[in-house]
Chains A and B, each alone.
Chain A
């Protein structure tokens, strides 16, 4: 009996990427002609990644939903001016990151937006601490440690400038190449590298006692 090989075809990813690109081109052209269904299909290709980025950067589901909606509405209204000079992926990420940067800048000014609220007795607690860990095998002690670590990392991330936060987020949590990050943020790869270096240095300083 023939054994199924577990080795992944190296050309498969590239082909899938090319097919996606062709698919997107056709959908964009249809959307430019006013076909809303085509735009909605295009949204499905990217919306999970967009929502994930927005959720992590804004910290609340409500704000993430607002960023998601604003980003795709903006894309819909401007689809006619999309000139295929970059990929749709870069274009939509550019819109989302701009909206998130605005959000982060406002948040820096209005500290009350932080997910720290007061309980009935007036004591502060972190909303993130209230999220239960649904992973299998979790035990209360580990769960507590994970939450403490999460809270410390979130706190350290919030101390970064919006731009440093964005570069770090796109690189560390979304695994984007710094070249793509540069394209999205309208800057050079070199600047993105320097920003990532600054961000990690600051985070190391903030979290020095945790190592």
Chain B
């Protein structure tokens, strides 16, 4: 059994992919077992044999030609920017749901609630709720379930009660209250990071509205996606001087954010207020012991530019 395990793991040992404890175990066994020691030697020789044939490096000409061809193609290609992100991507949506069981449950519950709401209206207004030949037929994809099917005695009329879930659309400018409300809702609650990114991106155009600024601060502090946090930071950056809440949130991002890009951007935004006491304190901490050499050196440079405090 031991020899079998060793032989299965010798390849990983040769490629340096064995965990430390497993490597130790394998080495201990090989020191005692001549057969396995031979097997390791054979595998090492085979590895060396394969390594004689190296992957050919592309020639400089090939690389230059490929770059030129790509540049030409890029001139006519459309980049996938903002509008593309607004389009619905079912595969991505499904992936999000797959990895978020809690969200999937919430969506399911919302679906049921929506369905129940629809059926309630059907019961409350029997004349309009019962599908007749003149009522526009619901598409199959919007039907979530059939509640009941009854036939009027003595007639050929059939009454079917069914539940549907419908998607609504609203349009308006960024100044429109309803649009702003929906964007604020999407920035905080949407499960799809692409939609959050788009809503935060639009909200950054209205940072003077205090509700919007709150939503951006929320996104900077709590959004799981670094791209969304960076966008929120961009929208807030201009307010670090005048709004102490914004300054605190940006400082928090500078100290705690897990993404180096967000931290670097936060450092850039606090530059105009580096003389502020709270900012100076944070810079001193970063200059003394930050893990990132880049942040550490930038913080030192910024501190060096400040006048001495007596």
Contact = CB atoms under 8 A, between A and B. Distances in A.
Contacts of B136: none
B8 interface: yes
B37 to A, nearest CB: 16
Given A73-B73, A173-B55, A47 B79 contact: no
A72 B42 CA distance: 41
Given A15-B294, A65-B65, A79-B80, A51 B58 contact: yes
Nearest to B8: A197
B21 interface: no
Interface string A58-101: 00010011001100110011111111110000000000000000
A29 interface: yes
Contacts of B46: 200, 203-204, 207, 211
A81 B194 contact: yes
B50 to A, nearest CB: 6
A32 B226 CA distance: 14
Contacts of B125: none
B79 A81 contact: no
Interface in A1-59: 11, 15, 18-19, 21-22, 25-26, 29, 31-34, 36, 39-40, 43, 47-48, 51-53, 55-56
Given A11-B293, A80-B84, A36 B74 contact: yes
A176 B52 CA distance: 18
27 contacts: A15-B293, A15-B294, A21-B260, A25-B226, A25-B259, A36-B74, A47-B66, A47-B70, A55-B56, A61-B58, A73-B74, A76-B80, A77-B79, A80-B84, A81-B85, A83-B193, A83-B227, A84-B227, A84-B259, A149-B49, A153-B53, A172-B15, A172-B51, A173-B54, A173-B55, A197-B8, A197-B11
B71 A80 contact: no
Contact of B69 (A31, A69, A77, A85): A69
Contacts of A19: 294
A70 to B, nearest CB: 9
Given A31-B79, A77-B80, A81-B84, A68 B261 contact: no
Interface string B33-71: 000000000110110011111111110001101110111
Query: In which size bucket is the chain A interface?
Result: 35 or more
B17 A52 contact: no
B219 to A, nearest CB: 14
A76 B12 contact: no
A105 interface: no
Given A18-B294, A61-B62, A69-B69, 14 more contacts: A18-B260, A25-B230, A40-B74, A48-B58, A48-B63, A56-B56, A64-B62, A68-B70, A73-B73, A83-B194, A149-B49, A150-B53, A169-B55, A197-B8
Contacts of B66: 47, 51, 64-65, 68-69
B294 A52 contact: no
Given A15-B293, A149-B52, A25 B261 contact: yes
A203 B42 CA distance: 13
A207 B226 CA distance: 48
A174 interface: yes
Contact of A76 (B62, B77, B92, B293): B77
Contacts of B81: 32-34, 79-80
A65 B56 CA distance: 14
Please classify the interface of chain B as helix (H, G, I), strand (E, B), loop, or mixed, using the class held by over half of its residues: helix
Top 8 nearest A-B pairs (CB, nearest first) are A25-B261, A80-B80, A173-B55, A56-B55, A51-B58, A84-B227, A153-B53, A84-B226
A136 interface: no
Contacts of A79: 79-81
B225 interface: yes
Contacts of B260: 18, 21-22, 25
Contacts of A55: 55-56, 58, 62
Interface centre among B45, B51, B70 (most CB of A within 10 A): B70
B78 interface: yes
A193 B9 CA distance: 9
Contacts of B276: none
B70 A73 contact: yes
Nearest to B76: A73
B292 A18 contact: yes
